[in-house]
Amino acid sequence: MKFFNNTLPIIVATLFIAACQSTPSHTLTFTPPASNAIFNTANQAAVVNVTTRDARSQSEISSYVRDGQLFKLSASPDVTALFQQIVQQDLNSKGFRVGAPSASNTNVIVNVKDFYAKVDQGNLRYKIDAKIQVEINVQGAKGNFSKNIGSTRTTEGAFNANNDEIQNVLTATFNEVVKAIYADQEISSAIRQYSN
């Protein structure tokens, strides 16, 4: 009886730890790559206010069913904060000054339209379709400009999808979109053209 009393807490603790480890996290983390743009002193005349809006139809970035349970995944930082950081970082590295609305002569509005990985699971295979789409609007006293930047990616594999596979395909898609934003010159031209 003494043996049973001493081992019961160990068994309960082991089962609790195993249960915690088998529950997947509901959050995927994203870290944007750094911008490598060339600083252009001619852009210093424009003071830009950046506003990012979440225009998606759902708040989660993916969802899937495992063992009859629905798992909804979210992003950390959230997608609005991610693209706010990316666009501000991009404009700063290209020589623009980012300021408050009252001090700016140009507004850049970023609408996050898609940031989602659709998961289809069968008995033996899964398929993940990732899509990220942003619309970047430049609004100045002399005119407006709008551009869509996005990417899609698909991956397939055996058995059931998990957080790692979803993270991998979303990260690859996300990095493509960020690189496209960093490489873009039309937005910079529009800011220079339409600012006061």
Whether residue 22 has pLDDT greater than 60: no
The pLDDT tens digits of the residues spanning 79-119 come to 999 999 999 999 999 999 999 888 899 999 999 999 999 99
Is the separation of the CB atoms in 55 and 67 below 8 Å? Answer: no
- According to the model, what pLDDT value does residue 3 have? 46
pTM, two decimals, is 0.84
Q: Which residues pair with 109 in a beta bridge?
A: 51, 137
Q: At CA 85, angle to CA 84 and CA 86, rounded to 5?
A: 95
What percentage of the chain carries pLDDT values higher than 70? Answer: 87
pLDDT tens, position by position, 135-162? 999 999 899 999 999 999 999 988 888 8
Q: Are 138 and 170 spatial neighbours (Cβ–Cβ below 8 Å)?
A: no
Tell me: the pLDDT tens digits for 38-54? 999 999 999 999 999 99
Dihedral sign from CA coordinates of 179, 183, 187, 188: positive
Cβ atoms 153, 172 nearer than 8 A: yes
